[in-house]
Amino acid sequence: MALRLAPLSNTERQSVMSSLAAGVRLDGRGLLENREITVHFGQDYGSCAVSLGETRVLAQVSCEVVEPRPSRPNEGKIVTNVHITPMAGPEYEAGRTSDAQDELQQLLESNIKESRCLDLEALCIMAEESVWQLRADVTVLNACGNLGDACNMAVVAALKHFHRPDITVEEDGRVTIHSFSEREPIPTFLKKVPVCLTYAFCQQQDGELIVFSDPTDLEERVVMGKLVVGLNPHGEITSMNFPGLVMLDKKHISFCIMNAFQRARHCAELIEKLVEEDLQKRKLEVHPKGFLGKLISDEQHKRNLINGKVALMSIMSSQFQRVRDKMDVDQNNDNAIKHEMDESNNHDSATEEIDLMDDDNDKENY
């Protein structure tokens, strides 16, 4: 059973509120300063791991051929699925859906699926018969605040990085799916890069609201409400959510949107740059090393791997030698037993011959 989070003490709550009122948060950031974003791509197309500070999210995009919707016979499909593992936090339980999981699911559907950022008509194979369905599975590995921004960025980066197999449609309607070794895969085209940015609000004693971006898990427990803005660098707002009980006026909403547009350009350019760099490495046959690239590139780790391999080979060699020695001993024992049995059989045969000769002599004498 999942554990409930212990309530914050008055000292912790006052410490967070005092730091926000002073304009310097507990982690040293300013009110509108965001945590560092790191993106790593796996060995397969569409595998992406995003870190937003200590928040860790993994996204994997896959595809399959399905029947289209009757209302949209020439458009493909996209499905998103969010899973929060128990390792993400003590309040999450395996096999059970939480409110945070439902909120993330709705956020991704509104900001990615309903924003029409993906060219669904390009996913059509045969109208009214078969289309591609893209499935984006998001796994939250560590929840340290602002899961919406991290999940959205992971899905967008994975979609932009994903390549689907090439196909051939025969005259009789048969569809042949070619492997990556037979034909070059087809990239996924995003018309616009949707970005999700979160702003939180705290109220001081005098009633003035404090606005800050990218809240941590500790800050999310003291805020009165949040504003989640979904937009793209072209100045289009795709979604807006207001979780919480805070009352916002036009001034605060306009301030958050203007700041979000500036931040959205940076996030979109970062995603496009990192995806392009990884794809260029693949074209040059400089295969990326996936999530363990930094670990494997360490010289000490390489030496440990070599030493471990040598030790394993020596252990296996000694085990093989013991097995061979045992087989030789068993073979020698079998040969000795066989030799004894042969001698015994020869002795019995000789005894029988002597008995027969004695019987013959007795008969002659008689």
- The residues spanned by each domain of the chain are 26-192+271-297, 298-366
Inform me whether the pLDDT recorded for 1 exceeds 50. no
CB 155 within 8 A of CB 79: no
80 bridge partner residues: 136
Taking phi first (over 0 means left), then psi (-120 to 50 degrees means alpha), and beta for anything else, what does residue 66 get? beta
Inform me whether the pLDDT recorded for 39 exceeds 90. yes
Mean pLDDT along residues 276-287 = 80
168 bridge partner residues: 176
Kindly state the percentage of the chain with pLDDT values over 70: 77
Structure tokens that stand for 212 in this block: 């800050």
CB 88 within 8 A of CB 142: yes
Read off the pLDDT band of 249 (50, 70, 90): confident
Q: Greatest CA span in the chain, whole angstroms?
A: 142
139 bridge partner residues: 58, 83
CB 62 within 8 A of CB 135: yes
CB 17 within 8 A of CB 222: yes
231 bridge partner residues: 195, 237
Instruction: Give all strands (DSSP E) within the chain, no chain letters.
Output: 37-41, 47-52, 55-66, 77-84, 124-126, 130-142, 163-164, 167-169, 175-177, 186-187, 195-203, 209-213, 225-231, 237-241
Structure tokens that stand for 227 in this block: 């504003």
Instruction: Give all strands (DSSP E) within 111-218, no chain letters.
Output: 124-126, 130-142, 163-164, 167-169, 175-177, 186-187, 195-203, 209-213
136, 356, 358 from 348: Cα distances, Å: 81, 12, 15
What amino acid occupies position 24?
Answer: V
Say which CATH class 26-192+271-297 falls into: alpha beta
Interatomic CA distance for residues 161 and 70, integer angstroms: 29
Predicted pLDDT at 8: 83
**pLDDT tens track for 294-331:** 555 555 555 555 565 555 566 566 666 666 666 665 66
Predicted pLDDT at 366: 45
CB 131 within 8 A of CB 77: yes
Per the prediction, the chain carries an average pLDDT of 82
Mean pLDDT along residues 236-257 = 87
Instruction: Annotate 214-258 with DSSP letters as a single string.
Output: S--HHHHTT-SEEEEEEE-TTS-EEEEE--BS----HHHHHHHHH
CB 226 within 8 A of CB 211: no
Inform me whether the pLDDT recorded for 205 exceeds 50. yes
**Which has more confidence, 137 or 360?**
137
Which of 165, 163, 239, 156 minimizes the C-alpha distance to 191? 156
Mean pLDDT along residues 196-211 = 88
Please provide the size of the chain in residues: 366
Kind plus residue range of the DSSP H or E element containing 241? strand 237-241
| Most confident by average pLDDT, 13-22, 113-122, 278-287, 334-343 | 13-22
Which of 221, 211, 32 minimizes the C-alpha distance to 144? 221
Predicted pLDDT at 326: 66
Which of 139, 140, 119, 122 minimizes the C-alpha distance to 131? 122
Interatomic CA distance for residues 197 and 215, integer angstroms: 10
